[in-house]
Structure 1
Amino acid sequence: MPGEDNAVPALECRGLSKSYGAGRIVLAQLDFTLEQGEFVAIMGDSGVGKSTLLNLIAGLDSADSGEVVIDGSAVARLDDNAATRLRRQKLGFVFQAFHVLPHLTLAQNVALPLLLNNLSTASALDMLAAVGLSGRGDDFPRQLSGGELQRVAIARALVHHPKLILADEPTGNLDPDTAHDVLALFRAQSKATGAATIMVTHSQAAAAIADRILILSDRGLHASSGHTARSDDDAH
């Protein structure tokens, strides 16, 4: 649970800085802690560094200075094999464009993180059922709507019980009603599996489901004024 005594944070960003060509500073000495099981939305203007922050956390880009610590492990201090294992075991990803593989069945798509971690794939069908796609394991992505594809992506992100979910505009391709339903399911399932979640979004409606909303600007990462932490009771 968030705030549990002596619990190692799911994520710590310590003094994280990143700039691109010609000295364009994107992130400067950013500090951020995400507790286990916490769901945080990050908002901000385009180009302010939201995707850069996700890429640094995911290990898809390297910081100029500072470090990313996932579940107590400083990623930059790990060798390549250990860093790859950490990402496979402890991270899950949900993208705006779904990234569901079209040549695989839904069950095979969801089972991918299990296969990569040498785990039994038996829970893939259970996870599909948990996101409302019971009995659809043998279907292919071409048979699904956008909202259903995002449910598959959520199931795939959560099936191996990662410590941390990174979600980049997960409802950007969905209509408002579908987005609302998918977000409610996303929050419920991430809480059920105990995953901490960072969701980058431009949508105030999407951000409203979070425990905290943070605004990223050239002055750093700050709490959104007027947003109170959501309790689990709010989901009922």
Structure 2
Amino acid sequence: MLELRNLSKSYASGRPVLSNLSWNFKAGEFVSIMGDSGVGKSTLLNLIAGLDTPDAAAGESPIIVDGVPMSGLDDDAATKLRRARMGFIFQAFHVLPHLTLLQNVALPLLLNGLPTERATEMLDAVGLGGRGGDFPHQLSGGEMQRVAIARALVHRPALVLADEPTGNLDPDTAHSILTLLRREIKATGACAIMVTHSQAAAEMTDKVLQLSKTGIQETTIVNPFKQ
């Protein structure tokens, strides 16, 4: 689903953030990425999404999404791929305040020219059925994150990217959010990558990767979902 091939990124000053990262992410896999602050976790998500540009590399594209080399896309093509094949969940929600909950969730469907009926289904799935006419200011933080998850998954993206999605939530709400996210990922067969600093959150994923200055590697966790 997603391939990283010797991916590198440096700051404008020339100081490297990421260096020669390589990893394959599979469809249907829920992966968390942990690491110290400043190691480049959010930068990695932005690079995968095409919101930032990796260092120039000779030969193959360092990022391949669903078989498509990202480096070969112009801005319009990258936007179309991102809109159709990716879903984003941010720590700060980014729910649009001037739109109702139903309009927020339906937005990816409208942008992709798809029927909007599934927006209502997704609001039901996240426990907000019957509240489609409400506005974000009427919600708690946990409820807004549920809207963000519904919006990220409504168009059945192949790749879901989540940046600290439970960072501002209490433990019970965080567990509920991640249970929902995991269930929807497995139901749709999406690949999901979650950046988190929380061991409890990481334990709810299929695989935990540790990002450091020396690279990326899998680490062992106690996972209640593994049999």
TM class, shorter-chain normalised? Answer: over 0.9
Question: 2: distance between equivalents of 1:115 and 1:198?
Answer: 25
Q: What is the SS of the residue equivalent to 1:154?
A: helix
Deviation of the 1:190 alpha carbon: 1.5
Question: 2: distance between equivalents of 1:187 and 1:88?
Answer: 21
Aligned counterpart in structure 1 of residue 26 of structure 2, from 35, 39, 49: 35
- Number of corresponding residues: 223
Partner residue of 1:89? 84
Aligned counterpart in structure 1 of residue 5 of structure 2, from 14, 38, 47: 14
Question: 2: distance between equivalents of 1:32 and 1:138?
Answer: 42
AA at the equivalent of 1:11? L
Map 1:1-236 onto structure 2 (within 5 A): 10-64=1-55, 65=57, 66-227=61-222, 230-231=225-226
Q: What TM-score, normalized by structure 2, do the two folds share? A: 0.95
Structure 1's unaligned 5+ residue stretches are 1-9
Q: What TM-score, normalized by structure 1, do the two folds share? A: 0.91
AA at the equivalent of 1:58? A
Question: 1: distance between equivalents of 2:52 and 2:214?
Answer: 21
Identical-pair percentage:
65
Question: 2: distance between equivalents of 1:80 and 1:53?
Answer: 19
Deviations 1:135-168 (A, max 9, x none): 1111111111111110000000000000000000
Structure 2's unaligned 5+ residue stretches are none
Question: 2: distance between equivalents of 1:159 and 1:213?
Answer: 25
Deviation of the 1:76 alpha carbon: 1.1
AA at the equivalent of 1:185? L
Question: 2: distance between equivalents of 1:229 and 1:196?
Answer: 19
Question: 1: distance between equivalents of 2:191 and 2:11?
Answer: 29
RMSD value, Cα: 1.4
75-84 or 214-223, larger mean C-alpha shift: 75-84
Contact 1:210 1:229 in 2 (8 A): no
Question: 2: distance between equivalents of 1:166 and 1:22?
Answer: 27
> Runs of 4+ in structure 1 displaced over 3 angstroms?
225-231
Contact 1:165 1:195 in 2 (8 A): yes
Deviation of the 1:85 alpha carbon: 1.0
AA at the equivalent of 1:158? L
Q: What is the SS of the residue equivalent to 1:214?
A: strand
